[in-house]
Structure 1
Amino acid sequence: MGATAGAVWGRVEQQDFRSRVRGTLLGVSVGDALGAPVDVLDLEEIREAYGADGIADLVFAYGRRGAVTHLTQLTLFSVDGLIRAQVRRDTGAWHPPTDLHRAYLRWASTQRDWGPDERRKDDGWLAREEWLYARREPTRALLIGFGDDTMGTLESPKSPAELGPEATARSAPFGLLVGWEPQLVVQLAVECAAQTHGHPTAYLSAGAYAVIVHGLARGESLDAAVQRALGLLAARPGHEPVSGALQHALGAVRQGLPTAARVEELAADGSADGVLGAAVYCALVGEDVRHGLCLAVNHDGPSGATGALTGGLLGALHGETALPPAWLAELEGRPTLLELADDFAMEMTQGPALHGPGGSSPGWLVRYPRA
């Protein structure tokens, strides 16, 4: 698999990249938080509870405003796993899916344990963040997939009939590997998705989402990034539902003003391909980030996952400053999100200065142990 070369980054490029990394992670989380309170409601129930326009602001869920769910939690551990994979590469142990699986097992511990276990020094700093030790409606596929140490693979996937969007929703960070070739981004996302979602529709949706984010993080338009994803999907068996959903989303843009009914039609039964298509549509037609996210959560389908995917796309496209500041101010775990985003950006742009032949930073290796 490919790698990111740190020596080619100028200061302006580093600042732009950091903004897009922050935007992606904050976007996923804000979309998740906006949609979480209405995830199980249909549009009529949403409007009955929040007015004719539906939900238009962060509201209470899990005892606070701006609370996030397992979708954000797992996205954070995706980032942690990617950093650890880069650090572990120094040892010659270069198999990112394994490092991601270990990261997801650390997430699974947050769903079982009361709090961090200080005796597990190799867990790194993220697994010691107490606010993450909260069970926020993880699906059965996630609990089964990460319920033991056996890693699902494409040859032997976990839950081979699972079509849900959860693996797709944790895959935005793979797209931030901007120094990788697009086909390798797809492959990594697909392999990691198969650890919990073994149906081709689910894991190919994850691959498509990751490579769309990858295009946006490299400065492409959303339409161009989707077209690239379609080209890469075409060679993979079972791609038809995912390709069809993306093409449907592109076509829907030309069908008049955006409506909740159109988002619902795209999301269909809530499977990964439909939610991906709906998110792409919302990101394409939104007048701004706020409008795109509100469109993504006010419909009969899975509001949380659609909001999270839409937020990741808009954050990667526009950077952190385009996100509504009032929402960011109330977002659960924002300091952790920003710290992790900045660590990821630093690792990807300046990794050799943190760990390499010339020496290693002890503090960095405490945060992201090689073990």
Structure 2
Amino acid sequence: MTTGTTAVWGRAQQQDFRGRVRGSLLGGAIGDALGAGVSGLTLEAIRATHGAEGVADFVPVHGRRGAVTAVTQLTLFTVDGLIRAQVRRDTGAWHPPTDVHRAHLRWAATQSAWGPDERRKDNGWLAREEWLYTRRAPTRECLAGFGDSTMGTLAVPKNPAARDSAALTRSAPFGLLVGWEPQLVLQLAVECAAHTHGHATAQLAAGALAVMVHGLARGETLDGSVQRTLALLAERPGGEQVTDALRQALGSVRQGIPGPALIEALGDTDSAEEVLAVALYCALVGEDMRHGLRLAVNHSGPSAATGAVCGALLGALHGETALPPGWLAELEGRSTLLELSDDFAMEMTQGPALHSPTAAAPGWLARYPRD
């Protein structure tokens, strides 16, 4: 697998990229946390509890305000796997789907163990974060897909009929590989979706999100990123449902004042293409991140999933300075998210200064072992 030309990063470019990485990862987590307390509730139930405007702030869930779900947990380990893939490239081992899969197996261990296994030095630093050792509504598909060490592939995927959004919601980080060509970003996201999801719609929805984030992280407009995504999907068999959902989201922008009726017309199930369509629509019509995320969680569908995807898009589009500070201050795991975001940005912009086939910074290999 090739990744295209190697970028030469100026200081301003590095700062912009780091801001978009932080924005996407933290924005996705904020959207996840905002929707977590109302996910699965009908709009009527949300309004009955939170008023006519619906939920406007974090509500207590999992014992605290600002708590995230398995969506954010899995996204963190996606990033960890991508960094490990870059580091392991020095050894001659270059197969990012395998490294991402290994990272998600480390997530699976957090769902059954009491805490970090300090004897496993090859786990790296993220797997030693104690706050991750708790179940936050993981899907059956993810638990089953990562329940053993066998890696699902496009030829033999795990959960062949799975079409829900759990592969989609962990796939924004693939788009942050800005040195890669868009079609390779799409392919990697699709291959990694097959680790838990066999339905082409679930796989291509994950790929579509990755390509949209990729365009935004490169400084493109959201509409331009969607158009590029549609063009790439047109070349892939089985992409009709995702393409139709994206086009419906684009068309809904011109249909009136944004609100739950237009959102629920795009879908209110946890199917991957409907979650993607709702999130994209809210990102397109949101006046700012706060407005977009409130739209993304106030409906009868899976609010944590739609909030997370919308937040990842808006964060990549606007960068970290657009994140609502009040929500950011209360976000669970904020320091971990920041640390991992900055490590990812440093690896992608300054990787050769950190490691090579013949030398490496010891501290970096302690954080991201080659094993």
TM-score (structure 1 length as normaliser): 0.99
Find the aligned partners of 1:34 and 1:197 in 2 and give their Cα distance: 26
Using the TM superposition, give the Cα deviation of residue 357 of structure 1 relative to its aligned residue in structure 2, in angstroms. 4.7
Cα deviation, 1:83-137, whole Å, max 9, x if unaligned, reads 0000000001000000000000000000000000000110000000000001001
1:161 maps to: 161
Whether the 8 Å contact between 1:2 and 1:179 is mirrored in structure 2 is no
Cα deviation, 1:173-221, whole Å, max 9, x if unaligned, reads 0000000000000000000001101100000000000000000000010
Find the aligned partners of 1:171 and 1:294 in 2 and give their Cα distance: 22
- Aligned-partner residue type, residue 122 of structure 1: D
Using the TM superposition, give the Cα deviation of residue 358 of structure 1 relative to its aligned residue in structure 2, in angstroms. 6.0
Whether the 8 Å contact between 2:4 and 2:181 is mirrored in structure 1 is no
Q: Tell me whether 1:199 sits opposite 2:199 in the alignment.
A: yes
Kindly report which structure 2 residues correspond to 1:264-303, keeping only aligned pairs within 5 A, or say none.
264-303=264-303
Cα RMSD after superposing both structures: 1.0
Using the TM superposition, give the Cα deviation of residue 288 of structure 1 relative to its aligned residue in structure 2, in angstroms. 0.7
- Aligned-partner residue type, residue 31 of structure 2: G
Kindly report which structure 2 residues correspond to 1:181-260, keeping only aligned pairs within 5 A, or say none.
181-260=181-260
Find the aligned partners of 1:326 and 1:4 in 2 and give their Cα distance: 39
Find the aligned partners of 1:170 and 1:7 in 2 and give their Cα distance: 25
Whether the 8 Å contact between 2:268 and 2:302 is mirrored in structure 1 is no
- Aligned-partner residue type, residue 129 of structure 2: E
Q: How many residue pairs are counted as aligned between the two chains?
A: 371
Using the TM superposition, give the Cα deviation of residue 170 of structure 1 relative to its aligned residue in structure 2, in angstroms. 0.3
Whether the 8 Å contact between 2:26 and 2:315 is mirrored in structure 1 is yes
Find the aligned partners of 1:240 and 1:346 in 2 and give their Cα distance: 37
SS of equivalent to 2:118:
coil
1:40 maps to: 40
Using the TM superposition, give the Cα deviation of residue 269 of structure 1 relative to its aligned residue in structure 2, in angstroms. 2.7
- Aligned-partner residue type, residue 309 of structure 1: V
- Of stretches 309-318 and 232-241 in structure 1, the one that deviates more from structure 2 is 232-241
Kindly report which structure 2 residues correspond to 1:16-165, keeping only aligned pairs within 5 A, or say none.
16-165=16-165
Using the TM superposition, give the Cα deviation of residue 12 of structure 1 relative to its aligned residue in structure 2, in angstroms. 0.1
Whether the 8 Å contact between 2:43 and 2:300 is mirrored in structure 1 is yes
Change (3 A) 1:249 1:208: same
Cα deviation, 1:31-81, whole Å, max 9, x if unaligned, reads 000000100210000001111110000110100000000000000000000
Unaligned runs of 5+ in 1: none
- Aligned-partner residue type, residue 198 of structure 2: G
2:317 maps to: 317
What percentage of residue pairs aligned between the two structures are identical?
72
1:365 maps to: 365
Find the aligned partners of 1:30 and 1:303 in 2 and give their Cα distance: 12
Find the aligned partners of 1:189 and 1:27 in 2 and give their Cα distance: 20
- Aligned-partner residue type, residue 201 of structure 1: T
Find the aligned partners of 1:222 and 1:156 in 2 and give their Cα distance: 34
Whether the 8 Å contact between 1:7 and 1:350 is mirrored in structure 2 is no
Whether the 8 Å contact between 1:5 and 1:349 is mirrored in structure 2 is no
- Aligned-partner residue type, residue 114 of structure 1: W
SS of equivalent to 1:159:
coil
Find the aligned partners of 2:295 and 2:268 in 1 and give their Cα distance: 15
- Of stretches 231-240 and 173-182 in structure 1, the one that deviates more from structure 2 is 231-240
TM-score (structure 2 length as normaliser): 0.99
2:262 maps to: 262
Find the aligned partners of 2:222 and 2:154 in 1 and give their Cα distance: 28
Using the TM superposition, give the Cα deviation of residue 268 of structure 1 relative to its aligned residue in structure 2, in angstroms. 3.9
Cα deviation, 1:297-333, whole Å, max 9, x if unaligned, reads 0001110100000000000000011010000000000
Whether the 8 Å contact between 1:4 and 1:177 is mirrored in structure 2 is no
Find the aligned partners of 2:3 and 2:341 in 1 and give their Cα distance: 18
SS of equivalent to 1:115:
coil
Find the aligned partners of 1:296 and 1:7 in 2 and give their Cα distance: 35
- Of stretches 83-92 and 268-277 in structure 1, the one that deviates more from structure 2 is 268-277
SS of equivalent to 1:350:
helix
Unaligned runs of 5+ in 2: none
Cα deviation, 1:144-178, whole Å, max 9, x if unaligned, reads 00000000000000111111111100000000000
- Of stretches 108-117 and 355-364 in structure 1, the one that deviates more from structure 2 is 355-364
Whether the 8 Å contact between 1:116 and 1:129 is mirrored in structure 2 is yes
Using the TM superposition, give the Cα deviation of residue 7 of structure 1 relative to its aligned residue in structure 2, in angstroms. 6.0
SS of equivalent to 1:360:
coil
Find the aligned partners of 2:27 and 2:135 in 1 and give their Cα distance: 21
Find the aligned partners of 2:263 and 2:284 in 1 and give their Cα distance: 12
SS of equivalent to 1:229:
helix
